[in-house]
């Protein structure tokens, strides 16, 4: 080797050995991993986990979030960061949690990080030209209002009028001055005098725009708990205070309480205990259960220092909530599954109410399960996680039985009411009532009559919206189907006789003649909530009937309907599963389940579990007041174990039976599962792509040993076409998480071989199989 060659070799070695500071940046693009950038010396002190940075991607400038800072060899072609942006940043513990979530669900890290960013930043973080676009919603004017805040000063002698105003303020806590003026004439002058006496203070605050906070709420007092409630409260208090070697200790609990057992009071006491310890709380509830009634209970206990995260908030309102949480001004966040990513300081308690609810699984984008990730987030922070339900999921119950979490039981209703009596109506033997519709049996009709005569209320549950679920020609048997999906069209009569697809929203007018045979014998088959409402209106003309489903009630409208029921303006409430979600309606004494078999006919191994949960939950709406409740469950299959156990309120009996069946077939919770869904506008292309991915999974799967991976497929999805895209799938199942992950990663790696026109989604721990 000559001198020149040796010099070049030495130079190459120096380059290879050069160690530089690198930042791994999550970008808002569908990349499986973060990209590495050089950290300039001038930025080194400010590039930390969770900070937003401006960097280049090709010819664009784009904002990302730092998820790791490390020292390593300089990557070839690595670019430097341009700047560190001020203002918004994610807590370091949240960033570490997001990385774990992305890894487990094989989700693009940039998309996962976007889940935790406030709305204003989600939009700005896509692609930018100037960093100034990342200012925290600058330029938006915020109206200020005056709040009256009670002080600790003890009054000596004040007039009756001022005394009443002061008592009201102390009962409600901090309250807007405008709200006081609604209740007391001359309140502004009175408050001025109270302020001069030091009895109240005046604060300027941003105007409240969230409807959950529009009405004043009287502060409540803690009720005397039942013995089981006290035992649960004590266990949670001990867990919250537990430490070992100065470190907080994580703990997970299942709070299994019958409907009406007072689980919410246990949650409130646990949150109060966390507050005493200076720790924050995140409480997750199903979106449909996030109502003003629920929020009012929390405001009555903790005042307005509660952040409520829900879909009805504007981006500005969401940003305000996020900023208050990040700054530590608020330490309790309530919301649907996305509240899991709230930037709570010193998080010490995570509550998942109705943990069995399938809405906690995100079915689009990042397919995470909020319940499972709640356990993970609590574990990573040494926090306490509480999973509450009257009908626990089999996965959670099995964790309790295997000793991985502690089970707390509330076996009775908090106010000592009896559980409602449940009667099974065998539709094979019981005929229709006066309406002539066999879905309103004679027994149900007479029960509704008796309830109306007693001036009590009825809920009728039918989990099928619309007027008629299908339209068929009686001449040739042709079924009206969606041209874009392999599903039948549903008639919605009040929308002008429109047939609609519930998968792609295709609409068409109800035909007068069959397109296939030109027959005019068009029949409407089945029963939806719209038709049930019409039938009941004709049968009980003096009754006030309301409907609660997605066709008539979304967002604020849901609570308006429920308020009418609570104020006894409604005699009969007809609805889908919206009526099953934890509503406290004390004057409802009759619940009728129109068709218990519908949920059992879904091609899903969890169908029995979901049907049982729905039946128990809806039955729990009856008899929550002073009058005992009654439930009628109509079915053509009265011997089905889900229906029999639900009729006896026997949750443990059902779980024993269902776990035995699942274990025999090696289905979750006795195995792990992942589904790969493939779809394309070209059916052959979808088939070929699915076959390619299945071969990759089989090549990686371990066979002939404990924990072997079962690869099922490729097969068409149960609904083979949606929005003109043909759907296929591969199901992986294994008792070994490690082996399942190896096969799933093989599919993930093979996606690059699939044509770009084919869409591939990997769903780890799927909840829905359709």
At 63, give phi and psi (nearest 5°).
-100, 135
Average pLDDT estimate for 329-349: 92
Pick the more confident residue, 34 or 135: 34
- For 7-28, what is each residue's pLDDT tens digit? 555 545 544 557 899 999 999 8
pLDDT of residue 138: 40
- For 644-678, what is each residue's pLDDT tens digit? 999 999 999 999 999 999 999 999 999 999 999 99
If pLDDT is split at 50, 70 and 90, which confidence band does 539 have?
A: very high
If pLDDT is split at 50, 70 and 90, which confidence band does 623 have?
A: confident
Q: What is the pTM of this model?
A: 0.85
Confidence check: pLDDT of 211 > 60: no
- For 404-413, what is each residue's pLDDT tens digit? 999 999 998 8
pLDDT of residue 663: 95
- For 243-300, what is each residue's pLDDT tens digit? 888 889 999 999 999 888 889 999 999 999 999 999 999 999 987 667 777 888 888 8
- For 558-612, what is each residue's pLDDT tens digit? 778 888 888 899 999 998 888 777 677 889 999 999 999 988 988 899 999 999 9
DSSP tag of 1: -
Confidence check: pLDDT of 516 > 60: yes
Q: What are the tokens at 624? A: 């929550």
d(CA 599, CA 242): 43
If pLDDT is split at 50, 70 and 90, which confidence band does 205 have?
A: confident
Pick the more confident residue, 688 or 174: 688
d(CA 451, CA 700): 62
If pLDDT is split at 50, 70 and 90, which confidence band does 214 have?
A: low
pLDDT of residue 216: 65
The residues near 55 (Cβ < 8 Å, ≥ 6 apart) are: 25, 27, 35, 37, 61, 62, 63, 64, 79, 81, 82
- Report the chain's mean pLDDT, rounded to a whole number: 87
Q: What are the tokens at 62? A: 């784009």
Confidence check: pLDDT of 301 > 70: yes
Coil, helix or strand at residue 272 = helix
In angstroms, what CA-CA distances link 761 with 110, 487, 581, 605? Answer: 16, 22, 30, 21
Pick the more confident residue, 769 or 237: 237
Confidence check: pLDDT of 207 > 80: no
pLDDT of residue 143: 56
């Amino acid at each position: 080797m000559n001198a020149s060659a040796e010099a070049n070799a030495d130079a190459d070695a120096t380059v290879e050995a050069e160690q530089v500071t690198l930042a791994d940046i999550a970008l808002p693009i569908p990349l499986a991993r973060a990209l590495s950038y050089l950290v300039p010396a001038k930025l080194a002190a400010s590039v930390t986990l969770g900070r937003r940075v401006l960097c280049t991607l090709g010819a664009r400038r784009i904002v990302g979030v730092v998820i790791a800072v490390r020292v390593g060899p300089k990557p070839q072609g690595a670019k430097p960061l341009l700047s560190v942006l001020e203002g918004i940043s994610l807590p370091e513990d949240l960033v570490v949690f997001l990385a774990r979530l992305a890894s487990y669900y094989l989700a693009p890290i940039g998309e996962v990080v976007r889940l935790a960013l406030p709305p204003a930043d989600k939009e700005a973080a896509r692609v930018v030209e100037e960093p100034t676009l990342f200012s925290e919603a600058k330029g938006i004017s915020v109206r200020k209002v005056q709040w009256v805040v009670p002080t600790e000063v003890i009054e000596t002698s004040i007039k009756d009028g001022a005394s009443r105003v002061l008592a009201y303020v102390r009962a409600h806590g901090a309250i807007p001055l405008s709200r006081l003026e609604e209740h007391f004439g001359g309140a502004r002058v009175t408050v001025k005098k109270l302020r001069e006496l030091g009895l109240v203070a005046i604060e300027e605050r941003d105007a409240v725009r969230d409807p959950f906070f529009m009405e004043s709420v009287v502060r409540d007092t803690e009720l005397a708990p039942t013995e089981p409630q006290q035992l649960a409260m004590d266990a949670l208090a001990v867990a919250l205070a537990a430490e070992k070697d100065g470190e907080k200790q994580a703990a997970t609990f299942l709070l299994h309480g019958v409907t009406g057992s007072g689980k919410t009071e246990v949650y409130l006491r646990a949150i109060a205990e966390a507050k005493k310890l200076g720790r924050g709380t995140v409480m997750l509830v199903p979106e449909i259960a996030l109502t003003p009634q629920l929020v009012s209970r929390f405001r009555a206990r903790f005042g307005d220092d509660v952040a409520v995260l829900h879909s009805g908030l504007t981006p500005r309102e969401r940003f305000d909530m996020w900023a208050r949480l990040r700054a530590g001004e608020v330490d309790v966040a309530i919301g649907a599954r996305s509240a899991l990513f709230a930037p709570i300081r010193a998080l010490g308690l995570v509550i998942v109410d109705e943990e069995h609810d399938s809405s906690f699984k995100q079915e689009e984008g990042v397919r995470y399960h909020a319940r499972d990730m709640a356990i993970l987030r609590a574990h990573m922070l040494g926090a306490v996680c509480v999973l509450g339900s009257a009908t626990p999921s089999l996965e959670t119950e099995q964790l309790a039985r295997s000793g991985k979490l502690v089970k707390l039981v509330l076996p009775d209703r908090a106010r000592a009411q009896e559980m409602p009596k449940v009667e099974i109506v065998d539709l094979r033997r019981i005929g229709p009532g006066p309406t002539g519709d066999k879905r309103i049996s004679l027994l149900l009709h007479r029960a509704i009559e008796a309830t109306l005569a007693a001036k009590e209320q009825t809920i009728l549950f039918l989990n099928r919206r619309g007027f008629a679920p299908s339209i068929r020609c009686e001449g040739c048997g042709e079924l009206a189907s969606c041209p874009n999906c392999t599903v039948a069209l549903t008639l919605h009569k009040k929308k002008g006789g429109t047939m609609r697809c519930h998968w792609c929203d295709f609409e068409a007018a109800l035909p007068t003649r069959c397109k296939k045979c030109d027959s005019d014998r068009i029949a409407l088959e089945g029963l939806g909530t719209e038709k049930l409402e019409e039938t009941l209106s004709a049968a009980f003309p003096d009754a006030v009937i309301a409907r609660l489903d997605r066709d008539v009630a979304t967002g604020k409208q849901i609570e308006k309907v429920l308020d009418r029921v609570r104020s006894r303006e409604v005699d009969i409430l007809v609805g889908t599963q919206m009526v099953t979600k934890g509503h406290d309606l004390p004057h409802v004494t009759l619940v009728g389940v129109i068709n218990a078999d519908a949920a059992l006919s879904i091609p899903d191994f969890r169908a029995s579990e979901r049907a049982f949960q729905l039946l128990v939950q809806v039955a729990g709406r009856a008899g929550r007041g002073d009058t005992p409740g009654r439930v009628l469950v109509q079915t053509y299959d009265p011997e089905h174990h889900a229906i029999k156990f639900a009729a006896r309120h026997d949750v443990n009996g059902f779980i024993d039976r269902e776990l035995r069946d699942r274990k025999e077939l090696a289905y979750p919770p006795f195995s792990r599962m992942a589904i790969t869904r493939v779809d394309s506008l070209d059916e052959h292309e979808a088939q070929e792509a699915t076959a390619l991915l299945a071969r990759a999974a089989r090549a990686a799967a371990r066979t002939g040993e404990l924990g072997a991976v079962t690869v099922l497929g490729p097969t068409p999805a149960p609904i083979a076409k949606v929005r003109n895209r043909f759907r296929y799938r591969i199901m992986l199942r294994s008792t070994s998480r490690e082996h399942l992950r190896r096969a799933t990663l093989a599919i993930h790696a093979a996606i690059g071989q699939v044509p770009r026109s084919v869409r591939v989604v990997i769903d780890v721990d799927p909840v829905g199989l359709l």
